[in-house]
Amino acid sequence: MGKPTGFKEFQRQTEPYRPASERIRDYAEIYRGKHDKKQLETQGARCMDCGVPFCQSENGCPVNNLIPEWNHLVYTGQWQPALNRLHKTNNFPEFTGRVCPAPCEGACVLGINNPAVTIKNIEQVIIDTGFTEGWVKAMPPENRSGKKVAVIGSGPAGLAAAAQLNKVGHKVTVYERADRIGGLLMYGIPNMKLGKNIVQRRVDLLAEEGVDFITDADVGGKGDNAVDVQQLRQQNDAVLFATGATRARDLDVPGRSLKGVHLAMEFLTANTRALLNSDSLTPDLNDSAIISARDKNVVVLGGGDTGTDCIATALRHGCKSMVNFELLPQSPAERATDNQWPLWPRIHRVDYGHDESSEVFGSDPREYEILTKAFIDDGKGNVAGVKIIEVSWKKVDDNWVMEEVEGTEKIWEADLVLLSMGFLGPEHYASDALNLDYDARSNYQAKPGVYAASVKGVFAAGDCRRGQSLVVWGIHEGREAAREIDRFLMGDTQLP
């Protein structure tokens, strides 16, 4: 695959983001608009004839993308065949090519002792080229099966399942409680990483292919837009729960109820909704429509992608200062001895928001091994600070144990605190009336590879089944659940 000696001749070269000084002035995507296809063809040449392509194994790509095949096709300038190979395993490469952390690159054989192939870059350019050239078109099924499937949730798992089920002729209706389709793709990931026009473009294609979408449909809710889940089960031949892991981990410390302390998703969702309603990509949003960070000392608690997104959004508001407290130690610069290839490399990374904060304030915003003890009241019910203490970690009987470091307690000034500490599982009100079983972590109980819940004809996939995970895992589970639903409905299936 690629050029036999390409990995020896060419160095890894990724497409750079727009300069931080430029991109913090708007909400447009951080990526450069124009791709250098010749450079990407050279990068495709670096793909080795490695014998066993771990990039598409279980340690690499969850959807088993045919990576060496489309790398070779790109190297030889065959972009449309490369797109066809990409779409064989991935319904939405325009999403994963932008937001996936690329476990495929962590498992790349070349990456054992050299920089890995730029797989993620190549994937994004393949699909972007496909849309630019008009190769991506709606393909409605020729025949209908007469079967109806309801999909609850329109995130990556729900959309992938809907696409696959519609492809084999089932009539699919997707129910979304928000005002727009896309789930976390629409409201959980900022526009800077995934333009909402990119999401809507694919939703429009699915609608053209015959998928029905119903927004403001709160399945199991009690308001005016409530949808009865029992009626939904009776009216359809199968139901798929793809509701995500939307129950955020909170922080039960004194002062949590103070004004100015918010869950990360409250902050990000309000900002994206205001951005979409304004039909603008500039940062000048109406402060009354968002949780504004303008001229405020901002503290983000918790790292990960969501913490980075909070940092980047607050910078665009024009925050006064920024700090990101993380409970765990800083990751090493290179793989640790217990983190060998082809496992995902748990190493220190500088993401787009960290880079932007350094541009504005002169340093990386992250402070490690910090425990939050309380939020401080300004005397009027508003947050004025965060009481923190340094901690240390040591191994005891193969378990990591945290200890507070005496004498390190301090108050950090804060006008806005954003809690970005992950998610605990799905909200259950959507399924309560069906009496579904849950696992020990409160997720819907359904075996991987089977996806059948405890009630006949009901299935679960994505984060609501496996716990908080990656977009690419949502797509994988949605595709596999569609296969099992098709088998349940028809007795057999041709879906992969």
Tell me, yes or no, whether 285 and 330 share the same domain: yes
Q: Which of 78, 106, 132 is the last residue of a domain?
A: 132
Return the pLDDT at 86.
Answer: 97
Question: Which tens digit of pLDDT belongs to each residue from 442-479?
Answer: 999 999 999 999 999 999 999 999 999 999 999 999 99
- Residue 470 burial (CB count, 10 A): 18
Q: What percent of the chain has pLDDT over 70?
A: 100
Tell me, yes or no, whether 190 and 163 share the same domain: yes
Vertex 291 angle, CA 287 and 293, to 5°? 80
Considering the domain boundaries, does residue 138 fall inside one? no
Considering the domain boundaries, does residue 143 fall inside one? no
What is the span of the domain harbouring residue 384? 250-421
The tally of domains found in the chain comes to: 3
Tell me, yes or no, whether 352 and 416 share the same domain: yes
Considering the domain boundaries, does residue 214 fall inside one? yes
Tell me, yes or no, whether 416 and 284 share the same domain: yes
Considering the domain boundaries, does residue 208 fall inside one? yes
Phi and psi based region of residue 447 (left: phi greater than 0; alpha: psi -120 to 50; beta: remaining): beta
CATH number at residue 58: 1.10.1060.10
Considering the domain boundaries, does residue 183 fall inside one? yes
Tell me, yes or no, whether 117 and 38 share the same domain: yes
Tell me, yes or no, whether 37 and 155 share the same domain: no
Tell me, yes or no, whether 241 and 283 share the same domain: no
- Residue 173 burial (CB count, 10 A): 18
For the cut 80, the answer to whether the pLDDT of residue 1 exceeds it is no
- Residue 381 burial (CB count, 10 A): 10
Q: Which residues contact 222 (CB under 8 A, 6 or more apart)?
A: none
CATH number at residue 476: 3.50.50.60
Considering the domain boundaries, does residue 139 fall inside one? no
Mean pLDDT score of the chain, rounded to an integer?
Answer: 96
Q: Which of 402, 421, 440 is the last residue of a domain?
A: 421
Return the pLDDT at 282.
Answer: 82
Return the pLDDT at 214.
Answer: 98
For the cut 90, the answer to whether the pLDDT of residue 286 exceeds it is no
Q: How far apart are CA 199 and CA 203, in angstroms?
A: 6
Tokens of 33: 């608009």
Question: Which tens digit of pLDDT belongs to each residue from 229-285?
Answer: 999 999 999 999 999 999 999 999 999 999 999 999 999 999 999 999 998 888 788
CB 246 within 8 A of CB 266: no
**Residues 423-445: b if buried by 16+ CB within 10 A, e if exposed:** bbbbbeebbeebebebeeebbbe
Considering the domain boundaries, does residue 163 fall inside one? yes
Tell me, yes or no, whether 120 and 165 share the same domain: no
Question: Which tens digit of pLDDT belongs to each residue from 300-357?
Answer: 999 899 999 999 999 999 999 999 999 999 999 999 999 999 999 999 999 999 999 9
Tell me, yes or no, whether 358 and 323 share the same domain: yes
Tell me, yes or no, whether 101 and 199 share the same domain: no
Q: What percent of the chain has pLDDT over 90?
A: 94
Q: How far apart are CA 372 and CA 350, in angstroms?
A: 23
Distances (CA, A) of 204 to 163, 180, 201, 467: 12, 12, 5, 28
Tell me, yes or no, whether 473 and 343 share the same domain: no
Q: Which of 388, 406, 421 is the last residue of a domain?
A: 421
* Residue count of the chain: 496
Considering the domain boundaries, does residue 495 fall inside one? no
Q: Quick check: helix, strand or coil at residue 238?
A: strand
Tell me, yes or no, whether 334 and 415 share the same domain: yes
In 50-120 the beta strands, taken as DSSP E runs, fall at none
Question: Which tens digit of pLDDT belongs to each residue from 128-139?
Answer: 999 999 999 999
